[in-house]
Amino acid sequence: MPIPTFGSKLENLTYKKRKGAYAVVFENHSRMRLGLIRVNHNYFLLGGGMEEGETDEQCLRREILEEVGYTFKNIRYIGHALQYLISRDGRPLMNDGYFYAVSLMEKVQQPVETDHFFEWVNSDRSLETLMVREQQAWAIQQALITEHI
């Protein structure tokens, strides 16, 4: 089965592959509200790029601690998708994203990333307009279909 791929790959650019792990978080075991990171007016899933030698789960644990200060449990694989994009600093990237559903546990520290704001957002909002990355909107749709909450 082909890997879902989003964005446009421009032929005259060389894309750097960046593997990442991302979490779809629902509030209180319900599909009604999603936990998202807001940076300026843009929404993203929790998670991010992997550091060398990290597993998907290690990446998620580190990123979720940095972004929101929480631990999590019940990691469940959702899927794998690619996204071609131009980074904020103008670099062509191919995000190789692995997506998981998780349940947040307890807050154990203050977030490290002070420009990232955690928000609960109604899941009935249009994901195509809410999410910056199509790949992440796809992952949320997959979680809404597959998670039996």
- H or E element: which one contains 16? strand 16-26
- The residue range of the domain holding 92 is 5-146
Question: In this structure, what CATH number is given to the domain that contains residue 27?
Answer: 3.90.79.10
**What is the pLDDT at residue 148?**
62
| Predicted confidence (pLDDT) per residue in 65-83, tens digit | 999 999 999 999 999 999 9
For 105-144, b/e burial (b = at least 16 CB within 10 A) is eeeeeebeeeebebeebebeeebeebbebbbbbbbbebbb
- The list of the chain residues with pLDDT below 70 reads 148-149
**Cβ-contact 99, 4 below 8 angstroms:** no
Say if residues 97 and 22 touch (Cβ distance below 8 Å): yes
Give the sign of the dihedral formed by CA 33, CA 58, CA 116, CA 134.
negative
Provide the whole-model pTM. Answer: 0.92
Residue 125: predicted pLDDT: 75
Q: Which residues contact 97 (CB under 8 A, 6 or more apart)?
A: 19, 20, 21, 22, 80, 81, 82, 83, 135, 136, 139
As for how many domains the chain has, the answer is 1
Tens-digit pLDDT profile for residues 28-49: 877 788 999 999 889 999 999 9
> In the prediction, which pLDDT does 126 show?
73
Tell me what pLDDT residue 28 has.
Answer: 80
**pLDDT for 149:** 53
